[in-house]
Structure 1
Amino acid sequence: MQLIACPWCGPREETEFSFGGQAGVAYPEHPASLTDEQWAHFVFFRDNPKGPAAERWVHAAGCRRWFTAVRDTRTHRFLTTPELTS
Protein backbone atom coordinates (compact mmCIF):
# COMPACT_ATOMS: atom_id res chain seq x y z
CA MET A 1 0.00 0.00 0.00
CA GLN A 2 1.35 3.40 -0.98
CA LEU A 3 1.04 6.40 1.33
CA ILE A 4 0.00 9.74 -0.14
CA ALA A 5 0.75 12.89 1.84
CA CYS A 6 -2.45 14.90 2.12
CA PRO A 7 -1.49 18.54 2.76
CA TRP A 8 -4.16 18.81 5.48
CA CYS A 9 -4.36 15.32 7.01
CA GLY A 10 -0.82 14.00 6.57
CA PRO A 11 0.15 10.62 5.11
CA ARG A 12 -2.81 8.35 4.33
CA GLU A 13 -3.33 5.13 2.37
CA GLU A 14 -3.83 5.53 -1.38
CA THR A 15 -7.31 3.98 -1.19
CA GLU A 16 -8.54 7.21 0.47
CA PHE A 17 -7.75 9.27 -2.64
CA SER A 18 -9.25 9.67 -6.11
CA PHE A 19 -7.47 10.79 -9.25
CA GLY A 20 -8.79 13.99 -10.80
CA GLY A 21 -6.85 14.22 -14.03
CA GLN A 22 -4.10 16.34 -15.48
CA ALA A 23 -3.37 19.56 -13.58
CA GLY A 24 -3.27 22.94 -15.23
CA VAL A 25 -5.90 22.38 -17.92
CA ALA A 26 -7.49 25.79 -18.46
CA TYR A 27 -11.24 25.99 -19.05
CA PRO A 28 -12.00 27.55 -22.46
CA GLU A 29 -12.51 31.31 -22.30
CA HIS A 30 -15.60 31.18 -24.54
CA PRO A 31 -16.93 27.61 -24.35
CA ALA A 32 -20.10 28.39 -26.30
CA SER A 33 -18.03 29.33 -29.34
CA LEU A 34 -16.25 25.97 -29.54
CA THR A 35 -17.08 23.48 -32.24
CA ASP A 36 -18.02 19.94 -31.22
CA GLU A 37 -14.55 18.78 -32.23
CA GLN A 38 -12.83 21.49 -30.16
CA TRP A 39 -15.05 20.74 -27.17
CA ALA A 40 -14.32 17.00 -27.42
CA HIS A 41 -10.60 17.76 -27.58
CA PHE A 42 -10.87 19.87 -24.40
CA VAL A 43 -12.86 17.21 -22.53
CA PHE A 44 -11.10 14.01 -23.61
CA PHE A 45 -7.55 14.74 -24.80
CA ARG A 46 -4.81 14.92 -22.18
CA ASP A 47 -1.05 14.59 -22.13
CA ASN A 48 0.30 11.14 -21.36
CA PRO A 49 3.90 11.76 -20.27
CA LYS A 50 6.36 9.07 -19.31
CA GLY A 51 7.86 10.41 -16.10
CA PRO A 52 6.86 13.26 -13.77
CA ALA A 53 3.36 14.64 -14.34
CA ALA A 54 1.34 17.26 -12.45
CA GLU A 55 -2.02 15.78 -11.45
CA ARG A 56 -5.11 16.73 -9.44
CA TRP A 57 -6.06 14.49 -6.52
CA VAL A 58 -8.87 14.60 -3.95
CA HIS A 59 -8.77 13.13 -0.45
CA ALA A 60 -12.18 11.54 -0.98
CA ALA A 61 -12.30 9.48 2.22
CA GLY A 62 -10.81 12.21 4.39
CA CYS A 63 -10.97 15.99 4.28
CA ARG A 64 -12.40 15.96 0.72
CA ARG A 65 -10.01 18.69 -0.41
CA TRP A 66 -8.32 18.88 -3.79
CA PHE A 67 -4.59 19.36 -4.32
CA THR A 68 -2.03 19.16 -7.10
CA ALA A 69 0.77 16.62 -6.84
CA VAL A 70 3.62 15.56 -9.09
CA ARG A 71 3.68 11.80 -9.69
CA ASP A 72 6.12 9.72 -11.73
CA THR A 73 3.96 7.77 -14.18
CA ARG A 74 6.67 5.12 -14.63
CA THR A 75 6.89 4.17 -10.95
CA HIS A 76 3.55 5.59 -9.64
CA ARG A 77 5.48 7.27 -6.80
CA PHE A 78 4.49 10.74 -5.65
CA LEU A 79 7.42 13.12 -6.02
CA THR A 80 5.83 16.22 -4.49
CA THR A 81 2.63 17.19 -2.77
CA PRO A 82 1.89 20.73 -1.58
CA GLU A 83 2.93 21.79 1.88
CA LEU A 84 0.59 23.95 3.89
CA THR A 85 1.80 27.38 4.90
CA SER A 86 0.13 29.22 7.76
Structure 2
Amino acid sequence: MIIPHPLLGPRDMAEFTYLGAASLMDRPSPEDGLHAMHEHVYLRDNPAGEHRELWYHAQGDRSWLVVTRNTLTQEITCVELARDIALEALA
Protein backbone atom coordinates (compact mmCIF):
# COMPACT_ATOMS: atom_id res chain seq x y z
CA MET A 1 0.00 0.00 0.00
CA ILE A 2 1.27 3.48 -0.89
CA ILE A 3 0.54 6.32 1.54
CA PRO A 4 0.53 9.80 -0.06
CA HIS A 5 2.47 11.75 2.58
CA PRO A 6 1.35 15.43 2.57
CA LEU A 7 4.96 16.70 2.72
CA LEU A 8 7.06 13.97 1.10
CA GLY A 9 4.75 12.53 -1.56
CA PRO A 10 3.97 8.83 -2.10
CA ARG A 11 5.67 6.52 0.42
CA ASP A 12 5.52 2.75 0.88
CA MET A 13 3.59 1.64 3.97
CA ALA A 14 6.70 -0.29 5.12
CA GLU A 15 8.15 3.09 6.20
CA PHE A 16 5.28 3.59 8.64
CA THR A 17 4.05 2.10 11.89
CA TYR A 18 0.29 1.67 12.29
CA LEU A 19 -0.88 2.99 15.65
CA GLY A 20 -4.64 2.42 15.64
CA ALA A 21 -7.70 4.61 15.39
CA ALA A 22 -7.24 8.37 15.11
CA SER A 23 -9.70 8.73 17.98
CA LEU A 24 -6.76 7.73 20.22
CA MET A 25 -5.64 11.36 19.92
CA ASP A 26 -8.61 12.27 22.14
CA ARG A 27 -7.32 10.80 25.39
CA PRO A 28 -9.38 11.05 28.57
CA SER A 29 -8.05 13.46 31.18
CA PRO A 30 -6.77 12.17 34.55
CA GLU A 31 -9.93 13.55 36.15
CA ASP A 32 -12.01 11.08 34.08
CA GLY A 33 -10.58 8.19 36.12
CA LEU A 34 -9.11 4.78 35.45
CA HIS A 35 -12.31 3.34 33.97
CA ALA A 36 -12.31 5.95 31.19
CA MET A 37 -8.63 5.28 30.44
CA HIS A 38 -9.25 1.51 30.41
CA GLU A 39 -12.05 1.93 27.86
CA HIS A 40 -9.89 4.27 25.77
CA VAL A 41 -6.96 1.86 25.63
CA TYR A 42 -8.61 -1.56 25.46
CA LEU A 43 -12.16 -1.21 24.12
CA ARG A 44 -11.75 -0.19 20.49
CA ASP A 45 -13.94 -0.59 17.45
CA ASN A 46 -12.86 -2.69 14.48
CA PRO A 47 -14.87 -1.10 11.67
CA ALA A 48 -15.37 -2.38 8.16
CA GLY A 49 -15.28 0.47 5.69
CA GLU A 50 -13.97 4.02 6.03
CA HIS A 51 -11.83 4.54 9.11
CA ARG A 52 -9.46 7.27 10.36
CA GLU A 53 -6.14 5.86 11.55
CA LEU A 54 -2.89 7.09 13.08
CA TRP A 55 0.30 6.23 11.21
CA TYR A 56 3.83 7.14 12.35
CA HIS A 57 6.52 7.72 9.69
CA ALA A 58 9.18 5.79 11.60
CA GLN A 59 11.60 5.38 8.69
CA GLY A 60 11.25 8.90 7.39
CA ASP A 61 10.59 12.32 8.86
CA ARG A 62 8.99 10.89 12.04
CA SER A 63 5.72 12.66 11.41
CA TRP A 64 2.34 11.47 12.65
CA LEU A 65 -0.37 11.17 10.01
CA VAL A 66 -4.12 10.71 10.15
CA VAL A 67 -4.99 8.45 7.23
CA THR A 68 -8.61 7.99 6.16
CA ARG A 69 -8.72 4.52 4.63
CA ASN A 70 -11.38 2.03 3.57
CA THR A 71 -10.50 -1.15 5.48
CA LEU A 72 -12.30 -3.31 2.90
CA THR A 73 -10.67 -1.94 -0.27
CA GLN A 74 -7.48 -0.38 1.22
CA GLU A 75 -8.32 2.82 -0.70
CA ILE A 76 -6.88 5.92 0.97
CA THR A 77 -9.13 8.96 0.58
CA CYS A 78 -7.37 11.51 2.81
CA VAL A 79 -4.01 11.98 4.55
CA GLU A 80 -3.44 14.81 7.02
CA LEU A 81 -0.67 15.74 9.42
CA ALA A 82 -1.85 14.87 12.94
CA ARG A 83 -0.32 18.08 14.31
CA ASP A 84 -2.57 20.15 12.04
CA ILE A 85 -5.66 18.32 13.31
CA ALA A 86 -4.54 18.77 16.92
CA LEU A 87 -3.92 22.48 16.40
CA GLU A 88 -7.36 22.91 14.80
CA ALA A 89 -8.94 21.28 17.85
CA LEU A 90 -7.22 23.80 20.12
CA ALA A 91 -8.42 26.82 18.12
For Structure 1 versus Structure 2, the TM-score category normalised by the shorter chain is: 0.7 to 0.9
**Residue matched to 2:2:** 3
Point out where structure 2 has 5 or more consecutive residues left out of the alignment: 82-91
Q: Which segment is superposed worse, 73-82 or 61-70?
A: 73-82
Point out where structure 1 has 5 or more consecutive residues left out of the alignment: none
- Which residue type is aligned with residue 27 of structure 1? R
Count of residue pairs the alignment pairs up:
80
Q: Does 1 or 2 have the higher relative contact order (CA < 8 Å, sep 6+)?
A: 1
Q: 1:21, 1:3 → 2: CA distance? A: 18
Aligned pair 1:34/2:33, yes or no? yes
Q: 2:20, 2:80 → 1: CA distance? A: 17
* TM-score, normalised by the number of residues in structure 2: 0.75
**Residue matched to 2:89:** none
Runs of 4+ in 1 over 4 A off after TM superposition: none
* TM-score, normalised by the number of residues in structure 1: 0.78
CA RMSD of aligned residues (A): 1.9
Q: 2:38, 2:49 → 1: CA distance? A: 26
Identical amino acids, percent of aligned pairs: 34
Q: 1:33, 1:11 → 2: CA distance? A: 40
